[in-house]
């Protein structure tokens, strides 16, 4: 009986120790002067990516790590440059390479650890916070986490698997996608050739687009509804699809979800009464 009580006490202490979160808010910092036209590629496996516009031509990337049952050193950070492409990655043991191909972002424990009672995989997560210079293209991707971008004006590619993609005050070609989560876009100005591609599988897509935007529209859902206050003359319209050409622009505006709603509104301006996205 005494042994049983001791075992329970030890197990309780171990559980309490494992559940205590450890955090390093200053795990990583990198800065460099980025030439106009360069692309910053951000890669994360588990954690959020937050990007704000910088007031200078110097990019600043900071990394924070937190964990409950893993170790902070389970995550490292890597920077690789290839010409005008800058790759900044949060790396776990199984993350592969930090370049154009090969990053997996895995933080899961190897399969053989199921045979150990005390060796557990790491749950360490890494958050990336970025100040992005003007004229810099952005490519931000995470597996488990939210991508939030405010102020990128040279084009944005943002992808998540389990988490939302929330983007505001952006321009340039836009490719915003996730699998499980919402996509939210707010853009007051786009150039005539700036394409817009927004998609998710399980979630809603909410987009505030510039007033009088033109182009080839293809808006659809599988299980849900399409709601739009944009004028698309001559478009074929139904509860689940809106398709048609507006103006003479060959810009493509493609918005899609499988399970959820698509809601399109005009970006609020002094002369607009569109309701802001929430």
Whole-angstrom distance, CA of residue 76 vs CA of residue 210: 40
**Residue 19: predicted pLDDT:** 58
For 14, the 3-state DSSP assignment is helix
**DSSP conformational letter for 172:** S
* Both tokens assigned to 156: 């944005």
* Both tokens assigned to 39: 């692309």
For 54, the 3-state DSSP assignment is coil
Q: What is the pLDDT of residues 40-79, one digit of tens each?
A: 999 999 999 999 999 899 999 999 999 987 788 899 999 9
Q: Where are the domains of the chain?
A: 22-164, 171-278
For 121, the 3-state DSSP assignment is coil
Q: What is the pLDDT of residues 119-162, one digit of tens each?
A: 456 789 999 999 999 999 999 999 999 999 999 999 999 999 99
Q: How confident is the model at residue 262 (pLDDT cuts 50, 70, 90)?
A: very high
Give the mean pLDDT of the chain: 85
Reported as type and span, the H/E element at residue 245 is strand 241-246
**Percent above pLDDT 70 for the chain:** 82
Whole-angstrom distance, CA of residue 75 vs CA of residue 267: 40
Q: What is the pLDDT of residues 176-216, one digit of tens each?
A: 999 999 999 999 999 999 999 999 999 999 999 998 888 99
* Cα separations in angstroms, 212 against 68, 229, 249: 50, 11, 12
101-110, 147-156, 254-263: which has the minimum mean pLDDT? 101-110
Q: How confident is the model at residue 106 (pLDDT cuts 50, 70, 90)?
A: low
Among residues 39, 47, 168, the alpha carbon closest in space to that of 106 is found at: 47
Find the Cα–Cα–Cα–Cα dihedral 159, 162, 164, 167, rounded to 10°.
-20
**Residue 70: predicted pLDDT:** 73
């Amino acid at each position: 009986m005494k042994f049983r009580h001791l075992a329970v006490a030890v197990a309780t202490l171990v559980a309490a120790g494992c559940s205590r979160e450890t955090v390093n808010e200053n795990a990583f910092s990198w800065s460099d002067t980025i030439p106009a036209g360069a692309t910053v590629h951000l890669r994360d496996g588990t954690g959020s990516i937050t990007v704000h516009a910088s007031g200078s031509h110097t990019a600043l990337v900071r990394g924070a790590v937190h964990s409950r049952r893993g170790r902070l050193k389970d995550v490292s950070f890597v920077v690789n440059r290839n010409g005008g492409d800058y790759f900044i990655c949060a790396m776990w043991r199984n993350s592969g390479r930090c370049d154009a191909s090969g990053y997996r972002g895995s933080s899961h424990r190897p399969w053989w650890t199921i045979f150990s009672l005390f060796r557990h995989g790491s749950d360490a997560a890494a958050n990336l916070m970025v100040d992005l210079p003007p004229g810099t293209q952005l490519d931000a991707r995470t597996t488990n986490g939210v991508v939030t971008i405010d102020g990128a004006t040279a084009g944005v590619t943002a992808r998540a698997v389990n988490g939302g993609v929330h983007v505001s005050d952006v321009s340039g070609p836009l490719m915003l996608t996730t699998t499980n989560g919402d996509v939210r876009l707010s853009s007051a100005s786009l150039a005539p050739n700036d394409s817009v591609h927004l998609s998710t599988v399980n979630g809603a897509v909410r987009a505030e687009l510039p007033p009088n935007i033109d182009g080839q529209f293809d808006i659809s859902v599988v299980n849900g509804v399409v709601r739009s206050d944009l004028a698309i003359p001559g478009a074929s319209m139904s509860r689940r699809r809106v398709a048609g050409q507006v103006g003479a622009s060959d810009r493509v505006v493609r918005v899609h979800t499988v399970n959820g709603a698509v809601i399109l509104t005009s970006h609020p301006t002094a002369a607009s009464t569109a309701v802001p996205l929430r």
